[in-house]
């Protein structure tokens, strides 16, 4: 674990929970971590609710001084205009949203977001002071055809094209073949790809950025396997899907240090 990199556990809620359910979940999660005497400074926690929940969750976090970050699941590459149904980074920034997921495999698959769109959205996020959580990963077909890491490395190279060396970004490696399958990559497989992604950051943005940037693993992360991933030197946290909707499970993932002795 890099001395300078605070681990980040991110919960991507996907299309789940209305705003009332969202508020209840965040409160319960906060209580659960407090009850477990979790040291909030040791691990950053960020939740990524659906757009309709953002205002309610942000208001709660502010009012109760809950030490969670809040992010959005997507944003438009445009600032404003005739783009029905799109959400501008400007709107998110006004809500004090800190980060935004970009290029999640579901967006790439169901909304035909290619590497150019991901690069444009990365620029839009940075322009509005949002931290882009840039998702990269390969399908099982990609893996067979191109071998390990080739596709995510290419995706990240394109996403970082015009990014400044001092920009704050997060990279999330999500092997599409592992998401929701119950079949996680092995820690060694994940480490190998995350190391290569860090090499891309080093080549594009320099040593300081490579040392500071958090690289997350996502894909069937559970409280039972999180510690084994966190032991790897280039894995700085997790992007958790289904597990982030269960208070006890997500709380246990956030407290991975208890099972890993970090």
Catalytic residue among 77, 113, 138, 174: 174
Closest CA to 226 of 193, 202, 181, 190: 190
Which residues does residue 9 pair with via DSSP β-bridges, in sequence order?
45, 238
Identify whether 78 is a catalytic site residue. no
Catalytic residue among 104, 106, 128, 232: 104
Identify whether 104 is a catalytic site residue. yes
Tell me phi and psi for residue 216, to 5 degrees: -105, 155
Close Cβ partners of 148 (under 8 Å, ≥ 6 residues apart): 189, 192, 193
Closest CA to 179 of 146, 135, 133: 135
Closest CA to 169 of 245, 78, 236: 236
Query: How many CB atoms neighbour CB 233 within 10 A?
Result: 11
Using CA atoms, how far residue 218 sits from 64, 131, 134, 261, in Å, is 29, 18, 12, 21
Closest CA to 11 of 244, 219, 256, 246: 244
DSSP notation for 75-92: --SSSSSS-TT---HHHH
Q: Which residues are catalytic?
A: 104, 174
């Amino acid at each position: 674990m890099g001395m300078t990199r605070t681990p980040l556990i991110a919960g991507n809620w996907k299309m789940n929970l209305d705003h009332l359910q969202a508020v209840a979940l965040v409160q319960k999660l906060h209580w659960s971590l407090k009850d477990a005497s979790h040291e909030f400074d040791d691990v950053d926690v960020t939740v990524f609710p659906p757009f309709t929940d953002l205002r309610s969750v942000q208001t709660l976090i502010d009012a109760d001084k809950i030490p969670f970050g809040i992010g959005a699941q997507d944003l438009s590459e445009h600032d404003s205009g005739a783009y029905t149904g799109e959400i501008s980074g400007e709107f998110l920034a006004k809500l004090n949203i800190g980060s935004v997921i970009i290029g999640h495999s579901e967006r790439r698959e169901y909304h035909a977001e290619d590497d150019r769109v991901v690069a444009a959205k990365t620029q839009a996020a940075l322009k509005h002071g949002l931290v882009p959580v840039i998702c990269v990963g390969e399908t099982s077909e990609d893996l067979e055809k191109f071998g390990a890491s080739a596709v995510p490395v290419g995706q990240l190279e394109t996403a970082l094209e015009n990014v400044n060396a001092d920009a704050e970004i997060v990279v999330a490696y999500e092997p599409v073949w592992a998401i929701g399958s119950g079949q996680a990559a092995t820690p060694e497989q994940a480490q190998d790809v995350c190391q290569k992604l860090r090499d891309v950051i080093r080549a594009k943005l320099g040593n300081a950025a490579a040392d500071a940037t958090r690289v997350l693993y996502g894909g069937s992360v559970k409280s039972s396997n999180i510690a084994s991933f966190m032991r790897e030197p280039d894995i700085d946290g997790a992007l958790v899907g289904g597990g982030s909707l269960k208070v006890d499970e997500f709380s246990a993932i956030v407290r991975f240090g208890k099972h890993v002795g970090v």
